[in-house]
Structure 1
Amino acid sequence: MTGKAVNKAVLGRLLSYVLHDKKRLAIAVGLLLMASLADVSGPWLIQHFIDSYIAKNEYPLDMVAGLALAYIALMCTAAWFKYIQALRFNDIAIGVVQTVRKQLFGKVLNQPLSAFDYMPTGKLISRITNDTESIKDFYVLVIGTVLKNVIFISVMLVVMSLLSWRLTAVVLVLLPIVVAIMVLYQRKSADAYRKMRDLLADINASMSESIQGMSLIQLMRQEQAFSKQFSSLTRRHLESQVGVMKLNGLLLRPLIDFLSGVALLSIVALFGISGVELVGVGVLYAFISYLGRVTEPLIELTQQLSLLQQALVASERIFGFIDAKQQSYGDDVQPLREGRLECHDVTFSYDGKQQVLTGINVDLPHRGFLALVGHTGSGKSTLASLMMGFYPISQGELKLDGRPLASLEQSVLREGIAMVQQDPHVLSDTVRENVCLGRDVSDDVVWQVLAKVGLDGQILAYQQGLDTRLGSGEANLSAGQKQLLAMARVLVAQPKILILDEATANIDSGTEHQIQKALHTLRQDMSIVVIAHRLSTIMEADEILVLSRGAVTERGNHQQLLAHQGHYWQMYQLQQAGEQLHQMEELAVAESAVQEN
């Protein structure tokens, strides 16, 4: 973020989008020039009529009628050219805005996940919507208005100088003062508009986070606290808007109207001094008409500075995101043949200061079953993210099929290794689209993967089958069914390695058994990595890693770790005791119900 009033680099970059199609822009500018010439010719014709006929008290019918028809034709021509050039400029501007939005969203999709670690969702949405809307105003309103008014004023000054250079000199003396006012306004408003934009992004972020966390807010009875926080943001945003409005009220119309009045008095005074013999009454009329016409363009130009300032501030943020470092991949395009995964002394830190993982070693063979367990914050999900290639490794090496993960091309990595997260996202769309996710997949394949994870029976129970809408549509899935849907989703691509991140954390024992059956089937085709708190899910794992504070403290299969009687044994005993208590409670409830009946 620059502290300058005008970031010339950002302004030049915005203009470069328009200059990309020079031919279309030249046609639009040509139409604008024709409209301006037709527009300023009206007062010139009236001046000619006053000095040539009214002053001489001569009214030849044919000449008067010809001038009247010419005046009407000029006004109609000016209106037509204005309409055509406005369409041209809007077409160019909207096309440019679409290009910017596509670039921005494309860059967002390819940002490394670390870019979203500290970026609130509301602020990101604000950049994509509100900031691009400000850029649209820049192209649609600012550029068109500036070109129109600059060309109009330039043509008008040329015509005025042909009529009387003395009176034109009066106007030219005042123009630098107007320009100075515009520059002063732009400099004064820069920080104000930047602050207003930042507060608007904070408001969007607050709304987004409050809506997403509504259940938490109501459970903790924090409605009033969040309402006060939101009110504070809106009040500060209102104060910044009022400050901008005061600045507009002081430096825009009042000063320009004052200078216009000074120019008018100066012209009248010069007319009185020079006399009619030097400046005709018609010329005086034309100058007064032109001066009245030049006031509005000057005010419009100054008013566009506010939109220009908003666009520059929004562009700084958008271009900052577009220019941010993208997710990098290798150039090895050879698909994975096996699901073999190796980690050699892997060390990782999110911020470069605090180590999250230290010296991790893993050797997962093809069709192997690896489990990661440990308390919250031990580094399990971080290790899974490194296996997916979401973050670059700080130290050590991670290999897939004996090849460094960093050397693999994006499509190879994403098709070869897939993840089912703890809380899978379900689209508000059909079952088919939730499984396919835009990929070209036949219904037969969709049913095959649904059957493989045990979800086909549930979908068949829906009247519309694969066309049933999920999410906010016609049906809602349970937490366990969402996990099964996510598994079916990744199986469409038949990955060589499947990672399940807490896939059984929030499901019932019946669904857990169904997922275990699915895992047993999947092991025939791929390697599996499971992160789990519920140890019953991973009892058949070939190797279990117990993590604590980013390091492996124990490793082995289920029986070996129980025999060791370390941390894993303690976790297992606690879960067994918890399950026994739960069974006793269910039995007591059942016996109580029988006695009541």
Structure 2
Amino acid sequence: MAAGKTALGAILSPVKGRLRWAIAAQAVAATAGVVPFVALAELGRILLDDGPDRSHDAWTVTAIAAGALLFRLIVMLVAGGISHLADNALQFHIRRALVDRLGRVPLGWFSSRNSGQVKQAVQDDVEAMHHLIAHSLLDITAAAVVPAASLAYLFWVDWRMTLVVIAPLLVGLTLYSATMAGMSKNLPRYDRAMGRVNGSTVEFVQGIAVVKTFGQTGRAHREFTEAADSFADFFLGWVRATRYSKAAAEIVLSPVAVLLTTLFGGALFVTQGWLAAVDLLPFALLGIGLTAPVLSLFYASYELRIARGAAERVTGILDTAELPVPDSPRSPAGNHVSYRRVSFSYDGEQDVLTDVDLELAPGTVTALVGPSGSGKSTLAALLPRFRDVTGGAILVGGVDIREMSLEDLYGRVAFVFQDVRLIGDTVAANIRMARPDATDEEVRAAARAACVDDVIESLPRGYDSVVGEDARLSGGQAQRVTVARALLADTPVVVLDEAAAHADPHAEAAVQRAMARLARGKTVLMIAHRLSSVVDADQIVVLDNGRVVERGRHTELVAAGGRYAAMWHAHERSARWRPRDLTPTASAAAAVAQEGAAR
């Protein structure tokens, strides 16, 4: 809670000055809002008086009340305008800061966070603070000022009767405090329970096809119902524990209860001669208006908690470490890539890679193979600086990539991974991201080389079709668009994940042909999931537990009878066992072989 409070204060700092003006204006408006009730009470005194200037005084008081109402309206509009402008400015500031920071964090940071988390911070969490800034702060101000101004006037009329009027308020606040006492403990439990319900719902909906295919509908449904039942049990228990105190507080703080207390107390005071009958009118008018603002303070506490949680998440992203860039970048002399005793750890304790040495000569293909979790993807992702090494160095043209500008690095290194990412723009714009100044003909040429031009031309608006709207691309088609993007970039170094590993047979052949064209004449570092795709590689590097255990060409490694040979023999056995109609690699392998021969 303290962290959220600190985070919210830091988030609001750019607009604190404007918010102070809005709160001050709202305080003035709230005070002006009490004036008509005071005027009405004073009007009753005047009309019950037999003085000679009664008519004149009555019109004067009426004019003051009408003027106060108009003044209140104007100042409230000013306060609301200031707060909404402050909210707009803050949202603009936060979103720009978030996007700016997200543009400078390591690309690997996104691999541990899904798009939903980023969207929540950039959109939902920023929006969650809107109501607090634009509305709740003003509501809280009015809720504090109106009772204070009313009580000040009532104490001036008669302090003893004022104590009678506020008695229900004190009792109700005590009861509400008992109700709210468990909130700090129960709200985190509420969030966890709701998170479990949401998670099981999303999991059930997203996996419904697999669930139904394997006859696990009952199990998946049971997980959801268990989460829902658990939430219901917790929430009902919370409600039951507070239902009596909350109901009692609502009754005591209701306008009817306050009015009855005022009338009974006023009758006693008047009959005892402690209070003039006409002086009971202010208490009847203003007393019933004391409770509603106080109740709004309790309701605002929930919105304040939401805003603090949102601010904490936003601040967490804004505090994310940026990818370091050099003040005076160096430019490489060539495109030879060297891994020098490279080590890497995600948590700073256990190394995922240890003392890896690699030389990637220009115009050669280096394939990384090894069991799952051996470090292949991590090793490849270090070259485009998805993350920085924690030991050793990676050099391009003799220069540590950490000493290069990012523009220079990405002008030399392109990457195509299995996890396809296309933006919600035209297909042409997605390809042109690699070179914003590329002509339409260059974009089409890249698409033709990536074997995706015919697919794009068949879309409703061709290259102007928008991804996610009228451009519905399959996984293999989207992958070829990313290959076209990399072809257009025409970088001398290419990092490839075997992007066709999970494609259907027809798409795989096209993707493999496109990737073969992309790799032609380049320095290629390829992550291989299928050994059949690396037999012609210039260098095969076998990783295990983050270390290089073997390296060489295919024939050399098979003859050596080591780890690679065992993997290759296992691959051959599985290829002979696999039914012919389920083999997705044959046509793709042929295509790659043809491209390799052409190269």
TM-score under structure 2 length normalisation: 0.81
CA distance in 2, matches of 1:501, 1:160: 77
Residue 531 of structure 1 deviates from its aligned partner by 1.5
Residue 301 of structure 1 deviates from its aligned partner by 1.4
Residue 363 of structure 1 deviates from its aligned partner by 0.6
Alignment CA distance shift 1:280-1:76 (3 Å): farther
Alignment CA distance shift 1:112-1:197 (3 Å): farther
Query: What is the CA deviation profile of residues 540-582 of structure 1, one whole-angstrom value per residue up to 9, with x for unaligned ones?
Result: 3221112233332321123433443444345445556666777
Would you say 1:382 and 2:352 are equivalent positions? no
| 2:319 aligned partner | 323
| 2:596 aligned partner | none
| 1:590 aligned partner | none
CA distance in 1, matches of 2:195, 2:131: 18
Three-state SS of the structure 1 residue aligned to 2:386 is coil
Contact 1:339 1:526 in 2 (8 A): no
| 2:448 aligned partner | 451
Query: What is the CA deviation profile of residues 512-547 of structure 1, one whole-angstrom value per residue up to 9, with x for unaligned ones?
Result: 666666556545663111112334433432211122
CA distance in 2, matches of 1:98, 1:198: 31
Alignment CA distance shift 1:325-1:183 (3 Å): farther
Alignment CA distance shift 1:49-1:376 (3 Å): closer
| 1:281 aligned partner | 277
Three-state SS of the structure 2 residue aligned to 1:293 is coil
Residue 31 of structure 1 deviates from its aligned partner by 3.3
Would you say 1:157 and 2:151 are equivalent positions? yes
One-letter amino acid matched to 1:307: E
CA distance in 2, matches of 1:51, 1:238: 56
Three-state SS of the structure 2 residue aligned to 1:528 is strand
- Of 251, 264, 284, 2:262 maps to 264
| 1:3 aligned partner | none
Alignment CA distance shift 1:528-1:132 (3 Å): same
CA distance in 1, matches of 2:26, 2:295: 19
Q: How many residues align?
A: 578
Alignment CA distance shift 1:469-1:310 (3 Å): closer
CA distance in 1, matches of 2:102, 2:233: 32
Alignment of 1:181-260 (within 5 A): 186-242=180-236, 247=242, 250-251=245-246, 252-257=249-254, 260=258
Alignment CA distance shift 1:47-1:585 (3 Å): closer
One-letter amino acid matched to 1:447: R
Query: What is the CA deviation profile of residues 62-93 of structure 1, one whole-angstrom value per residue up to 9, with x for unaligned ones?
Result: 54445445434433443444344334334433
Contact 1:186 1:306 in 2 (8 A): no
Three-state SS of the structure 2 residue aligned to 1:21 is helix
Would you say 1:143 and 2:153 are equivalent positions? no
Alignment CA distance shift 1:295-1:403 (3 Å): same
Alignment of 1:327-346 (within 5 A): 327-331=323-327, 333-336=329-332, 338-346=334-342
Residue 100 of structure 1 deviates from its aligned partner by 4.0
Contact 2:4 2:311 in 1 (8 A): yes
CA distance in 1, matches of 2:422, 2:266: 74
One-letter amino acid matched to 1:163: V
Would you say 1:29 and 2:6 are equivalent positions? no
Three-state SS of the structure 1 residue aligned to 2:288 is helix
CA distance in 2, matches of 1:250, 1:438: 64
- Of 524, 534, 546, 1:538 maps to 534
Residue 286 of structure 1 deviates from its aligned partner by 0.9
Residue 347 of structure 1 deviates from its aligned partner by 3.0
Alignment CA distance shift 1:548-1:32 (3 Å): closer
| 2:480 aligned partner | 484
CA distance in 1, matches of 2:209, 2:71: 62
- Of 541, 548, 556, 1:560 maps to 556
Taking only the aligned residue pairs, the percentage that are identical comes to: 23
Alignment CA distance shift 1:298-1:70 (3 Å): same
| 1:350 aligned partner | 346
Q: Which deviates more from structure 2 when the two are superposed, residues 240-249 or residues 458-467?
A: 240-249
Contact 1:123 1:204 in 2 (8 A): no
Residue 435 of structure 1 deviates from its aligned partner by 1.6
Residue 297 of structure 1 deviates from its aligned partner by 0.9
Three-state SS of the structure 2 residue aligned to 1:312 is helix
Three-state SS of the structure 1 residue aligned to 2:499 is coil
CA distance in 2, matches of 1:508, 1:418: 25
Alignment CA distance shift 1:462-1:135 (3 Å): closer
RMSD across aligned positions (CA): 4.0
Alignment CA distance shift 1:542-1:470 (3 Å): same
Contact 1:340 1:365 in 2 (8 A): yes
CA distance in 1, matches of 2:90, 2:234: 30
Contact 1:512 1:537 in 2 (8 A): no
Query: What is the CA deviation profile of residues 318-354 of structure 1, one whole-angstrom value per residue up to 9, with x for unaligned ones?
Result: 4344434444444453455533221122233434555
Residue 112 of structure 1 deviates from its aligned partner by 4.6
CA distance in 2, matches of 1:557, 1:339: 22
Alignment of 1:30-45 (within 5 A): 30-45=24-39
Would you say 1:46 and 2:44 are equivalent positions? no
Alignment of 1:295-334 (within 5 A): 295-331=291-327, 333-334=329-330
* Unaligned ranges ≥5, structure 2: 584-599
Residue 490 of structure 1 deviates from its aligned partner by 2.7
Three-state SS of the structure 2 residue aligned to 1:546 is strand
Alignment CA distance shift 1:154-1:84 (3 Å): same
CA distance in 2, matches of 1:488, 1:146: 56
Residue 222 of structure 1 deviates from its aligned partner by 2.4
CA distance in 2, matches of 1:586, 1:249: 66
Contact 1:331 1:408 in 2 (8 A): no
Contact 1:193 1:313 in 2 (8 A): no
Residue 441 of structure 1 deviates from its aligned partner by 3.9
| 1:403 aligned partner | 399
One-letter amino acid matched to 1:37: T
